[in-house]
């Protein structure tokens, strides 16, 4: 089963980030790198990326066959996606275990969502 581990950024997590020392911030980044390396080593990592600031996002829509883009985010968006891990592992429990190793879980909460599965129908 594949699981997406989502790391959100929200006012609370940003406030916590402000209070961290340089050393703690360094450990934070290193924690993510170590987690990615460990998951690659165990063969559980599908892909993991951090995302740039949402002010660099573009919103895309197609109207009358024309592609329209506009810049984001919208002013009221307080929470945005900051990064993710797509893992394939044995169980939901294991995915939670992996999520618990994301440094963000120490300060806020990390979201784990099972990926929709096409394989279990009609057996």
Partner 1 sequence: MTPSVEDLLRDLAPQVLGALVRRYGGFDTCEDAAQEALLAAALQWPEEGLPDNPRGWLITVASRRRTELWRTDTARRRREENLAVQAPPAPEPLPAVDDTLALFLLCCHPALTGVSQVALTLRAVGGLGTGEIARAFLVPESTVGQRISRAKQRIRASGAEFRMPPPEELPERVATVLRVLYLIFTEGHTASSGTALNRVDLTTEAIRLTRQLHTRLPDDGEVTGLLALMLLTDARRPARTLPNGALVPLAEQDRSRWDAPAITEGKELITTALATARIGPYQLQAAIAAVHAEAATSEDTDWYQILGLYTLLDSIAPGPMVSLNRVVAHAMVHGPHAALGQLAEAERDPALAGHHRVHAVRAHLLDQAGERDAAREAYLLAARTTLSLPEQRYLEARARAVADSGTDRPSTGGQD
Where does this chain bind partner 1 (CB under 8 A)? 40-47, 88-90, 114-123
C-alpha 83/C-alpha 101 separation (Å) is 14
CB of 30 to partner 1, least distance (A): 21
C-alpha 119/C-alpha 123 separation (Å) is 9
Q: Given the complex with partner 1, which of 80 and 101 has the nearer CB atom?
A: 101
Q: Given the complex with partner 1, which of 42 and 70 has the nearer CB atom?
A: 42
Q: Given the complex with partner 1, which of 50 and 114 has the nearer CB atom?
A: 114
CA 100 to chain centre: 13
CB of 5 to partner 1, least distance (A): 15
Least Cα distance to 90 among 109, 114, 111 occurs for 114
Tokens of 15: 């406030």
CB of 123 to partner 1, least distance (A): 6
């Amino acid at each position: 089963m594949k699981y997406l581990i989502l790391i959100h950024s929200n006012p609370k997590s940003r406030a916590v980030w402000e209070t961290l020392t340089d050393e703690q911030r360094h450990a934070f980044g290193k924690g993510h790198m170590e987690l990615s390396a460990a998951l690659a080593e165990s063969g559980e990592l599908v892909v993991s990326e951090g995302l740039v600031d949402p002010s660099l996002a573009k919103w895309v829509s197609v109207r009358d066959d024309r592609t329209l883009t506009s810049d984001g985010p919208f002013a009221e968006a307080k929470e945005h996606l900051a990064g993710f891990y797509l893992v394939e592992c044995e169980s939901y429990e294991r995915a939670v275990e992996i999520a618990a190793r994301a440094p963000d879980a120490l300060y806020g909460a990390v979201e784990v969502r099972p990926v929709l599965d096409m394989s279990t129908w009609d057996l």
